[in-house]
């Protein structure tokens, strides 16, 4: 279907919003009709980010009424802000791609513990489709609401998917050890990410209660057909963007490489490679590069996946979802190689 889609980007001045606009700007069937910002109301995007050299986007507005004239909304907002906006947009007949975590967990009871709020919109939560195309492509095509996955779950679930899909997991406890660039924390400042403390530094955080743990467990369990436990430890390292997840799992077979090649043969954005992946090879792309190794000594498989947290981990995956939802070629505007070195 070829049409001009009218798009509204809520939270256009954050890291995911800017990455999204960078790509939407060159999409042949998209017209961005509205962009919002909490702090830069009335400014042109190019006044805030001079690399946007055209003013075709119009001025940033504080918010956009759901009833206004647009077809699809991208929500690059804090979880709590998305939470209340999504039902209003759906009521106004809009299709929504929410980059926050507000609609990712099918079990509403998990929200108080992991997000700090009660989830009042359980019907909308049920309706949301988890936006990982490699697993839920057909549901995404018809969804009104896509809950775009978190960055760590994207890299982890793609790293595990062939193993889960083929029911080859032997031990239902999986260990995931991950590193992320600092942009994963968003544009707002905080002391721990302040340059003198973050440079030449690395640390684990939310070791026992990261909100991506239940997100991964729910989707992994659904794919496998029984519950799994994921022991997830995220770390932040002094680079702007990029993410590597190292996954340790016990499987019924020793050589998984050919299975991974086969499962991802037709996937445009997942590459199974011969060596452990580097973040620089996925920078600014929608790619997930995966290495699968087997350690005979421990009888553990070691799967390493790399993404750009703002690319496949957020905004470019959101564009992939939009392409699917509106019948555009899935790779449209997303098939560029990485910015390297
Ligand atoms: N960064 C990442 O790697 C990833 C982020 N996400 C999720 O995507 C969403 C956006 O993340 P990110 O872009 O990093 O965040 P940022 O903090 O960089 O940007 C947030 C955006 O939301 C706007 N905003 C903040 N508070 C409000 C509010 N109360 N009402 C309206 N607008 C508001 C900000 O406006 P202004 O700047 O003008 O104040 C800004 O445009 C979050 O839910 C995040 O969890 C998901 C995957 C990866
Ligand atoms: C380095 C860092 O702080 N990363 C973020 C993950 C970003 C992400 O995927 O966002 P969601 O909050 O939408 O799930 C974190 O751990 O909270």
Q: What is the pTM of this model?
A: 0.98
Beta-bridge partner residues of 231 = 175
* Domain layout of the chain by residue ranges: 5-149+313-325, 152-308
pLDDT at 54 > cutoff 90? no
Mean pLDDT of 88-93: 98
Q: Please report which confidence band the pLDDT of residue 221 belongs to, taking 50, 70 and 90 as the band edges.
A: very high
Instruction: List b or e across 287-324, with b for residues whose CB sees 16 or more CB atoms inside 10 angstroms.
Output: bbbbbbebeeeeebbbbbbbbbbbbbbbbbbbbbbbbb
Asked if residues 307 and 313 have their Cβ atoms less than 8 Å apart, the reply is: yes
Ligand 2 center–CA 254 separation, angstroms: 33
User: Is residue 31 within 8 Å of 4, Cβ to Cβ?
Assistant: yes
CB of residue 181 inside a 6 A radius of ligand 1: no
Q: Which of 8, 76, 151, 288 is catalytic?
A: 151
pLDDT tens-place string over residues 95-147: 999 999 999 999 999 999 999 999 999 999 999 999 999 999 999 999 999 99
Ligand 1 site, residue 100, Cβ cutoff 6 A: yes
Of 150, 211, 308, the one to substitute when testing ligand 2's pocket (max ligand atoms within 8 A of C-beta) is 150
Question: Could you tell me the pLDDT band of residue 57, with boundaries at 50, 70 and 90?
Answer: confident
How far apart are the C-alpha atoms of 134 and 217, rounded to whole Å? 17
Spatial distance between the Cα atoms of 88 and 86, rounded to a whole number of angstroms: 5
184 lines ligand 2 (CB under 6 A): yes
Model confidence band, residue 2 (pLDDT cutoffs 50, 70, 90): low
CA distance 270 to 38: 35
Return the CATH architecture of domain 152-308.
Answer: 2-Layer Sandwich (3.30)
Q: Mean pLDDT over residues 281-296, rounded?
A: 98
Ligand 2 atom nearest 150 alpha carbon: 9
Average pLDDT over residues 251-271: 97
For the cut 80, the answer to whether the pLDDT of residue 40 exceeds it is yes
Q: How far is the CA of 177 from the centre of ligand 1 (A)?
A: 25
Could you read off the pLDDT of 156-203 as tens digits, one per residue?
999 999 999 999 999 999 999 999 999 999 999 899 999 999 999 999
CATH node for 5-149+313-325: 3.40.50.720
């Amino acid at each position: 279907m070829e049409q001009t889609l009218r798009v509204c980007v809520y939270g256009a001045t954050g890291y995911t919003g800017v990455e999204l606009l960078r790509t939407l700007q060159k999409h042949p069937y998209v017209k961005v009709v509205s962009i919002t910002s909490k702090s830069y109301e009335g400014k042109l995007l190019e006044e805030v980010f001079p690399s946007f050299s055209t003013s075709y986007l119009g001025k940033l507005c504080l918010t956009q009424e759901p009833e206004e004239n647009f077809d699809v909304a991208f929500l690059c907002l804090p979880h709590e802000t998305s939470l209340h906006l999504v039902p209003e947009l759906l009521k106004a007949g809009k299709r929504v791609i929410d980059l926050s975590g507000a609609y990712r967990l099918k079990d509403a009871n998990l929200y108080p513990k992991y997000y700090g709020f009660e989830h009042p919109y359980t019907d909308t939560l049920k309706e949301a489709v988890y936006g990982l195309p490699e697993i839920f492509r057909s549901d995404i095509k018809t969804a009104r609401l896509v809950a775009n996955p978190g960055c760590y779950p994207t890299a982890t679930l793609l790293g595990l998917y062939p193993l889960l899909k083929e029911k080859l997991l032997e031990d239902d406890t999986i260990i995931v050890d991950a590193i992320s660039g600092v942009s994963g924390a968003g544009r707002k400042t905080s002391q721990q990410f302040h340059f003198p403390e973050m440079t030449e530094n690395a640390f684990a955080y939310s070791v026992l209660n990261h909100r991506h743990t239940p997100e991964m467990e729910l989707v992994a369990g659904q794919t496998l057909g029984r519950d799994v436990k994921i022991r997830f430890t995220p770390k932040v390292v002094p680079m702007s963007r990029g993410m590597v997840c190292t996954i340790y799992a016990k499987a019924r077979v020793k050589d998984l490489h050919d299975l991974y090649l086969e499962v991802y043969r037709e996937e445009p954005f997942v590459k199974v490679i011969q060596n452990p992946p580097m973040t620089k090879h996925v920078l600014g792309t929608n790619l997930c590069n995966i290495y699968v190794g087997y350690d005979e000594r421990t009888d553990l498989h070691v799967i390493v996946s790399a993404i750009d947290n703002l690319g496949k981990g957020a905004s470019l995956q959101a564009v992939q979802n939009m392409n699917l939802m509106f019948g555009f070629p899935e790779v449209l505007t997303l098939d560029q190689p990485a910015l390297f070195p």
